[in-house]
Amino acid sequence: MAAEENVVESTDFPVKENNENGISSVIPGWFSEISPMWPGEAHSLKVEKILFEGKSEYQNVMVFQSSTYGKVLVLDGVIQLTERDECAYQEMITHLPLCSIPNPKKVLVIGGGDGGVLREVARHNSVEKIDICEIDKMVVDDEFSHDLLSLTGLGVAFLKAVPEGTYDAVIVDSSDPIGPAQELFEKPFFESIARALIPGGVVCTQAESIWLHMHIIEDIVANCRQIFKGSVNYAWTTVPTYPSGMIGFMLCSTEGPPVDFKHPVNPIDENDSQSSARPLKFYNSELHTAAFCLPSFAKKAIGSKAN
């Protein structure tokens, strides 16, 4: 990319006004991600073409072709994934939990209607059943979705009805805690997950950014410490198109066979390139362990509360 293309004159800055939700806009040729969740900053991507725009029962859905990150899925003005960097999120949110237990068989994915987490869970040969709860059918129908993805439903209600001790692992691939995903960050939801897991079962939830959302992370950690009597850990990954360029995960296990999240017992990277249609792009066992190392300020705030 030519250097001049990166330089935006202040008079040409792409954001002129907010859309009807008061968040992001595509103005002249750029998408800028503006949200009260990250006030005072907005990452922008150049738009080549808008491929889909719609309003579902729950949220605004947009898919556009960007000039540098491939196709981009946006919900209520917030980037959910791009073709170029989705691997850094989908591989980590899936393999951090599934590589931490010996033999995952039954997995529940909450959210994840774009199919990326499903693609990653399917790499694990031990997995016999994957249930998926995606609230929004329009997300399932989008250009990213996986052919195998069919079940939609409300994660909160689904979990309440699930028999105790059903799943080896639950992955919560949610959007941010405003709008339809808000409940997925609250204590009763974590209690339902703990109930749905086998002893020594694991959960991995999207847990926001240490640069932007420490108060949210501290609340999640405090709730999880009360609910999950095994391990409670925060890990993170880089995602250039997410606010602050990174995102975290809360990993917890229920009482039972101990789970040491920092040391994977079920490595997937060794044989992956022979067994999969698309080899892993981001995850490996070294990165798995490194993902639990926190910068000092984050360690001070949450490190002592997690273990």
Sites for ligand SPD among residues 186-245 (CB under 6 A) = 206, 242-243
Structure tokens at 202: 């694991």
- 173 given a catalytic annotation: yes
- Which listed range, 5-13, 73-81, 162-170, 255-263, lies at the site for ligand SPD (CB under 6 A)? 73-81
Can you say how many angstroms the Cα of residue 137 is from the centroid of all Cα atoms in its chain?
18
Q: Which of 142, 173, 176, 269 is an active site residue? A: 173
Binding mask 169-188 for ligand SPD (x = CB under 6 A): ----x-xx------------
Question: Applying CB under 6 A, what is the total number of residues that bind ligand SPD?
Answer: 13
Please report whether residue 34 would count as binding ligand SPD according to CB under 6 A: no
For ligand SPD, the closer of residues 35 and 254 by Cβ is 35
Please report whether residue 104 would count as binding ligand SPD according to CB under 6 A: no
Q: Report in angstroms the alpha-carbon separations of 15 from 31, 33, 38, 45, 163.
A: 8, 9, 15, 12, 49
Listed in sequence order, the residues at least 6 apart from 3 whose beta carbon sits closer than 8 Å to its beta carbon are none
Listed in sequence order, the residues at least 6 apart from 82 whose beta carbon sits closer than 8 Å to its beta carbon are 45, 66, 69, 70, 71, 72, 73, 241
For ligand SPD, the closer of residues 91 and 269 by Cβ is 91
Q: 3-state SS of 70-88?
A: CEEEEECCEEEEECCCHHH
CB 72 within 8 Å of CB 45: yes
Q: Report which of 81, 136, 87 is spatially closest to residue 111, judged by C-alpha positions.
A: 136
Please report whether residue 78 would count as binding ligand SPD according to CB under 6 A: yes
- In whole angstroms, give the CA distance from residue 123 to residue 242: 25
Work out how close the CB of 114 gets to ligand SPD at its nearest, in angstroms, rounded to a whole number. 5
- In whole angstroms, give the CA distance from residue 31 to residue 48: 10
Work out how close the CB of 208 gets to ligand SPD at its nearest, in angstroms, rounded to a whole number. 8
- Which listed range, 59-67, 108-116, 185-193, 297-305, lies at the site for ligand SPD (CB under 6 A)? 108-116
- Which listed range, 6-14, 110-118, 128-136, 189-197, lies at the site for ligand SPD (CB under 6 A)? 110-118
The residues that are catalytic are 173
Applying CB under 6 A, the residues found at the interface with ligand SPD are 78, 80-81, 90, 112, 114, 116, 173, 175-176, 206, 242-243
